[in-house]
Structure 1
Amino acid sequence: MHRPRLAALFSALLLVVAGCAAPVANPDADADSTADGSADWSWPADPPTDRLGWEAGYWHNESIAVNQSDGLNATEREAFVARTMARVEVIRELEFTEPVPVEVISRAEYRNQSEDESDPFYADWNDQVWEALLLVGEDRTIEDVFDELYGGSVLGYYSPSEDRIVLISNGESPTINRRTLAHELHHALQDQQFGLDETPPTQDGQLAENGLVEGDARYVDRLYEERCAADWECVPRPGGSGSGSGAVDYPVFLTIYTPYSEGPTFVYTLRERGGWAAVNDAYADRPVSTEQILHPRDYPDEKPVEVTIEDRSSAAWTRYDTDPVGDTVGEASIFTMFWKHRAIDRDKLRDDPGAYSAYNYTAGPATGWSGDLVVPYRPASDAEADSNPHARGYVWKTVWDTETDARQFESAYLTRTLKLRLGARLVAEDTYVVDDGPFADAYRVTRRGETVTIVNAPTVEELDDVHARE
């Protein structure tokens, strides 16, 4: 699978990461349960045409004979998938228009799946974006971090290009976690109803749109579990159905987990405003910044400002030939940067999350964000660039709602992160050097009104070569 800026989660695949509508007209008769736990109910004949709450021969509240203790056979899987589709329809008040193939593979198979070769030129560009956030330094690549993270935390995925679901089973016998199944089936439903093929060009845009897409799916799978606890007979979740073991870079995980944590509350807020119709309408006007996801009151009216950076590099340095030339990282990613380096109170991550959120991604130094742009640079000489893979630089311009917001960001970045955590020392006006570690470089940090600009280069002398002072 090809992994772009934020990995396949935001493009080729829609992953579920470990981290109520009225019923259709169908009689719910009280009945005694049989020995295997299923109810001895008599169901009406199949409807003449497809309808909400019925799929492939199964009603949403129909009992099915499924026992996962020895894995699932083909008949059990067919019944489990069909009834779950019917239940997702009832919760979301939308109809599946096509069947959805579901495959179950082991985690070992998932880890061993062949992947497309990534573009080394693009990967180099992307490394500078994550380095600008002070999340992934020069001792690693973001591709390596993603490989470690997704290998152990992915529970399943839906592929819009292939119109199929792949679920990952940790046990030797194939089993299905009902919540994961509901989540991925809802992605298929979203694709059929609204289309999920397009991917925003920036990191913040991808996180924002997935705040809607993943937030909708996570909200639905939560409502599914609530119905299981209240009035639905549900297939027990298999033991060991969580993520597999694997190394996790927690700050990077927090970044990509933003849609799963904050998206459900965003969708819940839309539904509170105007029912499922308001959520459906959002697919025609999708969120464009994580600011809108973290602060639903800002959606849809408050849009980010367009940030541009004039190329003032010398002949020795050049921008990458990418489209777009730079990336927007946004409020959520800035929050995780400050969280990693303890520039904010880490304990507040779990304070006052939204109604359906796991975490609280808001903090003073990241709020008031209005827009940003990171433009990576490399030596103009290919020979020099190839001989020294750490000879890279970037310009990161952030724009804030007010001068106070800009000062707050500048203080958290410069004083509590660069100097306190990374040991940066002042060597000239607005100019700092980090001598050791994965972020060892020269930095120039300047603020003008609501704008803070950070220039990075391997040495102080090269700062002006990357981006000359005005």
Structure 2
Amino acid sequence: MRTILAIAVVLMLVVAGCSQAPGAGTTTGMDGTTTAPTTQPNSGSDTTGQQDAVVKPEDPATDTLGWESGLWYNETIDVEPDDGLNETELNKTVSRSMARVERIRKLEFEERVPVHIMTREEFRANQSSSGTSEARRVFDNAKYESLFMINESTDSLGVQNSNSGSSVGGYYDPTNKEIVVISENESTPQLDEITLSQELFHALQDQKFNFSSFNQTTRELHNAKDGVIEGDGNYVDYLYSQRCQNQWNGDCLTPEAPSGSSGSGGLANIGPYLIKYQPYSDGPAFVKQIKKRGGWQAVNDLYENPPKSTEQVIHPEKYGKDSPAEFSIENRASDGWERVTFPNRPNYASVGEAGMMSMFMYPFYASNQQTQIVPARDFFNRQQGSSQLDPIDPLNYNSTYSNGWDGDKLAVYTNDAAKDNETGYVWKSVWDSEQDAEEFVTGYRKVLKYNGAEKVDGRTNTWRIPSGNEFSDAFYVKRTGDTVVVVNAPSVSELSNVRKGAAPAA
């Protein structure tokens, strides 16, 4: 489980003319000189403006919510963060943060989790995809090629690793049961308490809920389950930040980037990041709504019955009501084209409504705001009466072109006779209605046009992006009722070999 920095949101604010990212400046750094706490734990609500009762109690005889390893959630700790944290200071900070997470989320830690601080350069050096099979690389490249984000001659796994090197603020490793927090300060690595709080909560999730059994074998399934995992984590993160500012009077460690530092740096490609960011944006709002209906217990129950799709997180009213359709992609390839398959994992990709929406939004960034297939004003969730983005749900992964999604699967094909890196694919999607399917086709044709596609004379529903363009290929797009099939091949003549019947004569 990883904390992803809101780099995409920062970029959006720059292009949209906003002044501040969600959450930015909501907490202040602790200098170690604040006075002793004047509040005491109680069973109050999660309303961030609520003031706790006065007078700090004695330590409890047994472990209790809001108290860990001798520290209450609201105690001031004697640390000097500016020169980095020694072992004693780190232990105190972790203990208090554990108590604070317990206080907010009403769950008790079962055991302590080791926490390490790593510089961003060290983290970047550890990012590698060297153990990935060639078939997996080809498959992943085709997935991002189908979204017109990464072309087939670029290593998509390398791009995503580079993105992670810039965007990850920390992570919980469920295998080794440990937490790593990334520091932007190279000379005296420091800890950001807000990031720490989320990773501690991921450890708490691991102790309380069996989410390791979640099926996350496709990007769609991964994002859907992260709607709970990261949604719950980021909502706790938000409440923690608010309390840092209010009840805890700024008594939280939030180090600033060193002078002259560029922080985490830019992304190699914002496309994959947009897809992966979706549960971090929609998830907290989804969890907040569930909590409003039934308290934290209702949120706990989500782990037993998590969302079945990103659609159910984007549109909470569909949770528990609109499960994805069951369908398959028949193998109709010929003339040397063979489907890429894997043992013990799906032989198809699925990007879900979140991935499709990201495809429609990506040209906004790739064109430096010149092309808006989905209007930017519809994507940025601003607070009512303000230019600021909503701190809980900053981005709106909801559009006419992607609404009504009922399932998608992408089958990837290779051919030994094809040129290096050239692949084909069949992308099949099912929609709630014929109108929804037609609206997707309308949006998809706009994406084709943006990428330089031209209609092919003498062929039905066939387009070609000429050579010299980034995504130079041939495409066949066919809607039949509520189902859309997109076929891709290196040339028009190969379309029918990737899928029999594609690109028929007009």
TM-score, normalization: structure 2? Answer: 0.83
Alpha-carbon separation, structure 1, partners of 2:108 and 2:36: 26
Residue 405 of structure 1 pairs with residue 436 of structure 2? yes
Displacement of 1:359 in angstroms is 0.8
Match of 1:69, SS state, is: helix
Residue 36 of structure 1 pairs with residue 33 of structure 2? yes
- Which residue is equivalent to 1:84? 97
Displacement of 1:117 in angstroms is 1.8
> Pairwise mapping of residues 57-136 of structure 1 onto structure 2 (< 5 A)?
57-113=70-126, 115=128, 117-136=131-150
Residue 419 of structure 1 pairs with residue 439 of structure 2? no
Displacement of 1:56 in angstroms is 1.3
The alignment covers a number of residue pairs equal to 439
Residue 349 of structure 1 pairs with residue 385 of structure 2? no
Query: Does the CA contact (< 8 Å) of 1:16 and 1:180 recur in 2?
Result: no
Residue 462 of structure 1 pairs with residue 494 of structure 2? yes
Displacement of 1:329 in angstroms is 1.1
Displacement of 1:43 in angstroms is 5.3
Match of 2:410, SS state, is: strand
Displacement of 1:196 in angstroms is 3.6
> Pairwise mapping of residues 203-352 of structure 1 onto structure 2 (< 5 A)?
203-233=219-249, 234-240=251-257, 243-322=263-342, 323-341=345-363, 342-351=372-381
Match of 2:80, SS state, is: coil
Query: Does the CA contact (< 8 Å) of 1:441 and 1:457 recur in 2?
Result: yes
Q: What is the Cα-based RMSD across aligned positions, in Å?
A: 2.1
Displacement of 1:151 in angstroms is 1.1
Query: Does the CA contact (< 8 Å) of 2:32 and 2:79 recur in 1?
Result: no
Match of 2:81, SS state, is: coil
Identical counterparts, % of pairs? 38
Alpha-carbon separation, structure 2, partners of 1:38 and 1:108: 36
Q: 1:361 corresponds to which letter in structure 2?
A: Y
TM-score, normalization: structure 1? Answer: 0.89
Q: 1:348 corresponds to which letter in structure 2?
A: D
Alpha-carbon separation, structure 2, partners of 1:275 and 1:43: 27
Query: Does the CA contact (< 8 Å) of 2:34 and 2:76 recur in 1?
Result: no
Alpha-carbon separation, structure 2, partners of 1:105 and 1:148: 17
Q: 1:457 corresponds to which letter in structure 2?
A: A
Query: Does the CA contact (< 8 Å) of 1:66 and 1:235 recur in 2?
Result: no
Residue 177 of structure 1 pairs with residue 192 of structure 2? yes
Alpha-carbon separation, structure 2, partners of 1:51 and 1:254: 40
Match of 1:442, SS state, is: strand
Range moving further from structure 2, 57-66 or 86-95: 57-66
Unaligned runs of 5+ in 1: 1-12, 20-33
Displacement of 1:326 in angstroms is 0.6
Compared CA separation, residues 79 and 253, structure 1 to 2 (3 A): same
Q: 1:220 corresponds to which letter in structure 2?
A: V
Alpha-carbon separation, structure 1, partners of 2:32 and 2:323: 58
Structure 1, residues 105-146: CA drift from partner, whole Å, max 9, x if none?
Answer: 111111112645222211111111111122211242211211
Alpha-carbon separation, structure 1, partners of 2:430 and 2:119: 46
Range moving further from structure 2, 450-459 or 233-242: 233-242
Compared CA separation, residues 142 and 205, structure 1 to 2 (3 A): same
The counterpart of 1:377, out of the listed 413, 420, 425, is 413
Displacement of 1:194 in angstroms is 0.4
Alpha-carbon separation, structure 2, partners of 1:454 and 1:434: 14
Q: 2:68 corresponds to which letter in structure 1?
A: E
- Which residue is equivalent to 1:22? none
Alpha-carbon separation, structure 1, partners of 2:471 and 2:4: 32
Alpha-carbon separation, structure 2, partners of 1:230 and 1:325: 50
Alpha-carbon separation, structure 1, partners of 2:377 and 2:452: 21
Query: Does the CA contact (< 8 Å) of 1:135 and 1:251 recur in 2?
Result: yes
Unaligned runs of 5+ in 2: 8-30, 39-54, 364-371, 383-388
Match of 1:197, SS state, is: helix
Alpha-carbon separation, structure 2, partners of 1:40 and 1:134: 54
